[in-house]
Structure 1
């Protein structure tokens, strides 16, 4: 038997063993919770549908609702999984299904008797989350339903419009630094960054004043682009952290507001708010919010998963709104090949 045949035989045997019935959930990865055949094999082998399987008290139904499919949720419910089990964060499977806006999961859990309206992150219940999504008709007529206040609906619509502006295409945000500066034109932003507007024309990617492959050199420049909207302003972008740096934000925020965000490729997304030349807030953003977090975290859907909008669009919309700006076409913000006015930062604005 050739080496290739041996490898193929090994893969076939591994696949066969994968679906052998067994009485536990050992070795289950995130993607495995979407494999209905695997879930059924474990259940048929005696695995408990309510056994804690991860730190934080998550049970199989929590993970299937978070990472799986409606079919895997249905398989667990059919084997007696508790529809209203709480993990250590106080969340039920319906909460995670609502965060993913999965219609099949939501229907199955509600039909199994899941609690729709008890808040799990005050004032947010699974049903209240669903009221902000296209799945609202599934819960609006259920006993206990309370319509969202008109002002909250208006805020959500405005946020969704801004999120949509950044969702026209897939976003490449890894390593991106961007600042939104309200009410200030390109020339003035260039001046505040220590540049001469006459020496900083807009250029495309083929005519950059630095070597884009030299990371240290690229950190000494930021790109400036005006935004034609109401209210307008400017964007400052870079393949690095400088647009979110305190010194840069202080320089550009005199008599206005600016919000800088950095999508750290090593992990985490970090924002800073500047107003009238001073830093007024720093935060890690984009994480699943808690009851104690600002209402805007919920409005800009940091809690929502799945394909409702491009990954990172909610964070960009939040940052734009925090600065007091709107953007009609978000591609101007994140198109790394767009023509921009590249400004060399003076030593005082570099770290």
Structure 2
């Protein structure tokens, strides 16, 4: 029998106690099964392959030798002793796969050796695992190891704090429940509250952690839970006695923030509860109505530029840009007079659409930075107000305010507000997180309000793909 490397397994010889061939000595054919990790030749050496040797039957007691030679490489016959006792001992651990089969007919056993010409294990064995199967097994093992109790908080990952089973496993392993984690001074209780993991909050509280522990910005776990707007987590912390009313950023406490949301009933009847001033309630209601007017917002915002202009009609705005309104026809993006897939060409066109309101105006969209460009804003804001925002695909949302032909403010918006930030950042819920909150919609509503528009329905006005009039920017307004 020839193996993959050309080695020939000639025979197995059984000898008697004195080393002479016994009367029962025979030559038996053996099966050669390569333990190749794969069927591709690059996965094995051309000169070495591990093999299993399967015997047709157990050798009789006594000495045995495996006789091998490699004629192609002029290697002489080599004899290797075999531990027959070990073979017999191993046979007792064998499992019968096909019970009831008749024993083989000894007279019908082959008397010649066969040759294997193919790579890989025979087809009757389980095929080697594919790359995807090995990867799946690796992930399964990593997942299993992930929940092995561990005495620290290493390699939790941002989303790991939302996995209550993982948090409990670490606590069972002896991880410190009150440890300071990360550069911001947060503790495990802060991080699980931020992820809205109510069960993990309960697990940590059972270890007598400080429920009002503060991070480096003096924020408590309840502050984090309110920002994420997970009701179960907020309720768990409040029921456990968390401080609801102590301000943690300017006048804002966790309870005061909750009063501006649908979770207000959770805190309205608590001791020391405060009430929002009537004018603040009215302002928050108007803000929420404007956010709702945008619905879910545009279907995409990455790289999108939007500019709101107060009080101008489409024709007047088009003339201020420097184009002829009669030449600017309405069409979907697919039928626009430029190739939307060509980014450079897209920068030379904007879409204009009227917005009804009291007051209303126009909205300009572009797949690019134009709405926050000073030259355009100066040209269109004479005698009125315009606010442009650019959703930078590299990160950040940048707004620019122009009034009476002059740029008066530039800012990055949408970040979690600080005490020194304008009240509008809080009213437009830049502080809020959570799966049910669409931050980009809130940013569009803020931009609309900054331009002075008051509208009730603008759901598709900021969608660059929706129908609008397409205007080519003159060279003086191009960058």
Tell me how far apart the structure 2 counterparts of residues 205 and 170 of structure 1 sit (CA, whole Å): 14
Q: 1:338 — aligned with what?
A: 466
2:295 corresponds in structure 1 to 167
Corresponding position of 2:128: 2
Matched with 2:260 is 132
Q: Is 2:400 the counterpart of 1:261? A: no
User: Which structure would you say has the larger Rg?
Assistant: 2
Contact 1:167/1:309 (CA < 8 Å) preserved in 2? no
Q: 1:113 Cα shift?
A: 1.9
Q: Distance in 1 between matches of 2:437 and 2:135?
A: 41
Range with greater deviation from structure 2 (24-33 or 199-208): 199-208
Corresponding residue for residue 336 of structure 2: 208
The number of equivalent residue pairs is 351
State the alpha-carbon separation in 2 of the partners of residues 204 and 19 from structure 1: 52
1:124 counterpart SS class: coil
Deviation at 1:89, TM superposition (A): 1.2
Q: For structure 1, which segment, 123-132 or 309-318, has the greater mean C-alpha deviation from structure 2 after superposition?
A: 309-318
Residue of structure 1 equivalent to 2:233:
105
Please state whether the residue corresponding to 2:461 is helix, strand or coil.
helix
2:316 aligns to what?
Answer: 188
The answer on 1:156 being equivalent to 2:284 is yes
Indicate the residue corresponding to 1:234 in structure 2: 362
Is the 8 Å Cα contact of residues 250 and 279 (structure 1) preserved in structure 2?
yes
Aligned-residue offset at 1:171 = 4.1
What's the CA shift for 1:207?
A: 1.9
Cα offset, 1:96, TM superposition: 0.9
CA distance in 1, matches of 2:460, 2:142: 48
Higher RCO (C-alpha 8 Å, min separation 6): 1
The structure whose residues are more often helix, as a share, is 1
For the pair 1:35 / 2:152, whether they are aligned, the reply is no
Give distance in 2, aligned partners of 1:135 and 1:68.
15
The answer as to whether partners of 1:25 and 1:42 remain within 8 angstroms in 2 is yes
In structure 2, the CA distance between the partners of 1:275 and 1:129, relative to structure 1 (3 Å rule), is: same
Residue 171 of structure 1 contacts residue 313 of structure 1 at CA under 8 Å; is this kept in 2? no
Structure 1 partner of 2:431:
303
1:270 partner SS? strand
Q: For 1:170 and 1:100, how far apart are their aligned partners in 2?
A: 23
Which of residues 2, 6, 12 is equivalent to 2:140? 12
Tell me the equivalent position of 2:353: 225
Q: Which moved more, 1:100-109 or 1:165-174?
A: 165-174
Q: What's the CA shift for 1:337?
A: 2.0
TM-score, normalised by the number of residues in structure 2: 0.71
- Farther-moved stretch of structure 1 (317-326 vs 159-168): 159-168
Change in CA separation of 1:170 and 1:248 when aligned onto 2, cut-off 3 Å? closer
Which of 180, 196, 201 is residue 52 of structure 1 equivalent to?
Answer: 180
Aligned match of 1:279:
407
Partners in 2 of 1:267 and 1:323 — Cα distance? 23
Change (3 A) 1:306 1:167: farther
Deviations 1:94-146 (A, max 9, x none): 00111122211111111222111111001000110011111111111111111
Aligned counterparts of 1:334 and 1:159: Cα–Cα separation in 2: 18
**Aligned-residue offset at 1:14:** 1.3
Unmatched segments (≥5 aa) in structure 1 = none
1:32, 1:128 → 2: CA distance?
A: 29
Q: Which residue of 132, 135, 143 corresponds with 2:271?
A: 143
CA distance in 2 between counterparts of 1:9 and 1:339 reads: 50
- Calculate the aligned-residue CA RMSD, in Å: 1.4
